[in-house]
Amino acid sequence: MIVVDNVSKYYGAHRAVAELSFEIRQGECVGFLGLNGAGKSTTLRLLSCLLLPTSGRITVRGLDVVSSPHEIRKLIGYLPDTPPLYPEMTVSEYLDFAGRLRGLRGAQLSARKQRVVELCSLQQVERSPIGQLSHGYRQRVGIAQAIIHGPALLVLDEPIQGLDPVQIVEMRKMIGALRGEHTILLSTHILTEIEATCDRILMMHQGKIAAQGTEEELAARLRAHRSLVLEVHGAADALRAALAGVPEVRDARIEARGPEHLHAVLRVDDIAREKVSRAVVNAGLGLLAMHTESSGLEAVFLQLSQNAGRSLAPPQPAAPPAALGVQP
Amino acid sequence: MSNIGIIARRELAGYFRTPSGYLIAAATLLVQGLLFNTRALGGTKLSSDVLIDFLRDSSGTTTVAAVLLTMRLFAEERQSGTLVLLFTSPVREGQIVVGKFLSAFVVLSLLIVASVYLPALIFVNGKVSLGHIAAGYLGLLLVGAATLSLGVLGSALARTQLMAGVLAAVFIFIFFLAWALAHVVEPPLRDVIAAFSLYEQHFFPFMRGLIQLSDIVYYCSLTYLALLASTRVIQSQRWQ
């Protein structure tokens, strides 16, 4: 349904997203996961014909975003990070307005309106001015606005942000109910909030898609990027020979940190600490310290999955939270 | 209902739902009434002169009202983030601009028509023709349309409402000052510059009860061009 081919977007010299390529199939529910500033909103805005890509090509149902935006706008329902609400209008008037803008009229409009009011549980506030609604209700009105014309593609930018836990559960239920009817793209910086809702997660980091898959697939893929760090007393050649005997070690970077003191960073297929330590000791070298170090990306991922409900500070590269215990 | 109608109707409701619309109307009518009193009660005068003075003052109050009515049109939506709803809907930029312009034009027209009791007083107590009043009001509507469209352009360009008002005032002032500039340059250029003058050249005939095609064409083209420029501005913003 959506094909993104090598798309980049620059704001002046600042790169928002770079060389993005992915595909989204009809009926899928895809979550964009990433820290603030990872390029999630930019990606969603590019898909919603709100931003011109600097390079690359985006097509929605075979239509090019740049050359036929008018046709694509008919297919899309978009909820930005702050819902576009007019405080002086009542919910009912607002939905009428949003429906008419998307070409609904008469009986069709009232039927759709009734349906989205039910779907978003807005019956109680239908006659209230939007300015008087709570944050949770506003968010729901924002979603109602995005789905009133039954768009093939629903784009939700941070739909869960700022909601309390009860509202989050309701929102998750609502998005669940919309699956199947629409292809859904949503963004979040909190993994646990979308893992149950989405078929697939695209993890974005620094304007690129760092990894994709289900939550377990992501975790497994990122674990594979871990490295094993050794502090060894002995000669570099002896260490290299000892490590060559362990098949799980794919790559070893060894540097001298003083007389007879080596610092080695290993890429290992699995957590093969036991085999590595045995090999080092059997070669007659002194194993001073050994610990695993997660890649920056895994640290980010762990932070994303742990930060449910809390606001997010930028990652602290100095202290990777995934560092496992130091073994003598 | 067309897209223009849908947008115009929502904007109209916006004017009447919030105090701003009433406040602008009340202030304009109050100032207009006060100005009228200073003109009409100031000693012995020909009634047609009073009408001319009234129309001149009214072109000023109409201009101020036009700026106040239009400054929110785009700038407010930009500030509150609702412009995204229009931008992601299958609506053309021109339809958005014209819809917003029309809603302001309806309000301003109501406002202009509401002041008709003042010339009616002159008509009852003095000697002026209905044609003179009608010509003057046609002129006011045309000045209103032109200044509104410049206000729409200001609002399309500005980030805040205040900035929109300032920009609109600057645009209008440039066309206003064309007349003063025309007085100090040499003949061939003088006529060219004078032809752009928003009030002196094109409104004064209406003020004296004269309807000339060239004046109507001037106001209509100015309105059209300002709205066209606004459409271009919105087009480029839609992709940012």
pLDDT band for position A155 (cuts 50, 70, 90): very high
Which residue(s) pair with B197 in the sheet? none
Cβ <8 Å between B84 and A89: no
Q: How far is it, in rounded angstroms, from Cα B45 to Cα A296?
A: 86
pLDDT digits (tens, 9 = 90+) for A194-229: 777 888 888 888 888 888 888 777 777 777 667 788
Give the percent of chain B with pLDDT over 70: 99
Q: What is the pLDDT of residue B154?
A: 96
Give me the mean pLDDT over the B42-65 stretch: 89
pLDDT of B1 strictly over 70: no
Which residues have CB under 8 Å from B56's CB, separation 6+?
Answer: B207
For residue A84, the chain B residues in CB contact (below 8 A) are 80-85
Q: What is the pLDDT of residue A34?
A: 84
Q: How far is it, in rounded angstroms, from Cα B69 to Cα A42?
A: 34
pLDDT of A310 strictly over 60: no
Give me the mean pLDDT over the B136-162 stretch: 95
For residue B84, the chain A residues in CB contact (below 8 A) are 50, 78, 80, 84
Return the number of CB contacts < 8 Å for A and B: 64
pLDDT digits (tens, 9 = 90+) for A35-66: 888 888 999 999 998 988 999 999 999 899 88
Which residue(s) pair with A265 in the sheet? A229, A253
Q: What is the pLDDT of residue B180?
A: 84
Give me the mean pLDDT over the B81-107 stretch: 95
pTM: 0.83
Q: Which residue in chain A is spatially nearest to B88 when comparing CA positions?
A: A73
pLDDT of A309 strictly over 70: no
The shortest C-alpha distance from B85 to chain A (Å) reads 6
Q: How far is it, in rounded angstroms, from Cα B194 to Cα B179?
A: 5
Q: How far is it, in rounded angstroms, from Cα A100 to Cα A95?
A: 8
Tokens of B153: 């352009």
For residue A105, the chain B residues in CB contact (below 8 A) are 1
Which range among A20-24, B52-56, B99-103 has the greatest average pLDDT?
B99-103
- Is residue B61 within 8 Å of B112, Cβ to Cβ? no
Q: What is the pLDDT of residue A149?
A: 92
Q: ipTM of this complex > 0.90?
A: no
pLDDT band for position B55 (cuts 50, 70, 90): very high
Cβ <8 Å between B82 and A85: yes
pLDDT digits (tens, 9 = 90+) for A106-135: 899 999 999 999 988 899 999 999 999 998
Q: Please, what sign has the CA dihedral across residues A215, A217, A219, A225? A: negative
Mean pLDDT of chain A: 83
Closest Cβ–Cβ partner in B81, B83, B90 for A103:
B90
Q: What are the strands of the beta sheet with A63-64, ordered from one edge?
A: A14-24, A2-11, A55-60, A63-64
Q: Which residue in chain B is spatially nearest to A46 when comparing CA positions?
A: B239
The shortest C-alpha distance from A322 to chain B (Å) reads 39
Tokens of B105: 């034009």
Q: What is the pLDDT of residue A298?
A: 67
Cβ <8 Å between A98 and B85: yes
pLDDT digits (tens, 9 = 90+) for B183-217: 888 888 888 888 888 888 889 999 898 999 999 99
Mean pLDDT of chain B: 91
**For an interface test with B, which of A44, A52, A86 has the most B Cβ atoms less than 10 Å from its Cβ?**
A86
Closest Cβ–Cβ partner in A48, A80, A88 for B14:
A88
Helix, strand, coil content of chain A in percent (nearest 5): 35, 30, 35
Cβ <8 Å between B90 and A82: no
> Between helices A91-101 and A135-147, what is the axis angle to 10°?
30
The shortest C-alpha distance from A107 to chain B (Å) reads 14
Tokens of B170: 């600057």
- Is residue B94 within 8 Å of B65, Cβ to Cβ? no
Largest CA distance in chain A: 86
